Chains A and B, each alone.
Chain A
């Protein structure tokens, strides 16, 4: 199947700093990618849809100025958590659809201290 690579896999940052997470489709082009957040022992919650060449669309309750999404090419989407706070600590995971199936990145565990 298709491969989606996400980096970094783990990151620890200080409160108030920003963190960038990359999501790459390695062997296919993805005009759309999706960003999810998963708190411990909870489900994946869709945060936003990343659209190549245009603005991302955010789900209700997700702050677009805090979670900046850039999808500058057909193989790369980035999520930047700005001014991170401890409550932003979570597992962030991207997915890209190929044909009708979704392929997930390996996820990024963000810890804000």
Chain B
């Protein structure tokens, strides 16, 4: 089955700096890669996603890049704000949709003033 590794497990940045979280996946059939933000005790919220036919996608301060050859994808957050502090999960699916997601281990992002 699919295995998704995520690094780093914790990340502390100063407000205004950029944050980068990286994930690798093992199943070359995976074709859908969402990123979720989860605040303590709450449900995961989709922040951005990318499909295997695209190399990069951007939405305001958030961007995701995908390297299919190397089987890794990354989340980039620019101009970080304290409200960006949360746990971020990457995920992968071979279904082309958000069905049967395999999640990464999570990154706890702390944005300090």
Contacts and interface: CB of A to CB of B under 8 A. Distances in A.
A77 to B, nearest CB: 14
Contacts of B102: 46
A104 B44 CA distance: 7
Contact of A34 (B46, B89, B99): B99
A43 B106 CA distance: 6
Contact of A100 (B42, B45, B98): B98
A34 B93 CA distance: 13
Interface string A89-100: 001010101011
Q: Is the interface of B mostly helix, strand, loop or mixed?
A: loop
Interface string A35-68: 0100001111110010000000000100000000
A102 interface: yes
A74 to B, nearest CB: 16
Contacts of B34: 101-102
How many of chain B's residues touch chain A, expressed as a range? Answer: 20 to 34
Contact of A106 (B43, B104, B106): B43
A44 B103 CA distance: 6
A106 B41 CA distance: 8
Contacts of B97: 97, 99-102
B101 interface: yes
A71 interface: no
Contacts of A45: 103
Interface in A68-108: 91, 93, 95, 97, 99-102, 104-107
Given A105-B43, A107-B42, A43 B104 contact: yes
Nearest to B106: A43
A104 B41 contact: no
Interface in A1-47: 32, 34, 36, 41-46
B41 A102 contact: no
